[in-house]
Amino acid sequence: MRSKGAIRTRSLFKKRKSPALFLSPATNAYGGGRLNPKVINTVFNEVCSLAGVEGNTPHDARHAMGRHLIEKTGNIAAVQRQLGHTNAAYSIQYARVTDQELADALDDR
């Protein structure tokens, strides 16, 4: 059974005739209303500024999410699917163990 939110989202996609998840309220000649990288970076920087976070990019957030998924689930396939990787080899980078993590694991033994 589909949730009301999923049904509403599907109808919005059909209405806008776009596979894009995030659309700008204004359409443009190039993206048909899609958010472009400049807009995404601007919004991301404003949110980071309000939160007092410095030196991060949307790509850093993407990597943090991938790493978090690995830490919580250990599931490479989940990372692959969530980040849209066509090849699982791209997702394996999030499973790397840092020197500190290795030391902590050995100290716990």
Domain of 67?
57-109
Dist. CA 20–CA 26, nearest whole Å: 14
* pTM of the complete model: 0.59
Is 106 in the same domain as 61?
A: yes
Is 39 in the same domain as 63?
A: no
Q: Within a domain: residue 83?
A: yes
Q: What is the pLDDT of residue 10?
A: 60
15 pLDDT above the threshold of 80: no
Contacts of 76 (CB under 8 A, 6+ apart): 70, 88, 91, 92, 94, 95
Q: Within a domain: residue 1?
A: no
Is 86 in the same domain as 103?
A: yes
At 42-91, the pLDDT tens digits run 888 988 899 898 888 998 988 898 999 988 988 999 999 988 899 988 88
Is 68 in the same domain as 44?
A: no
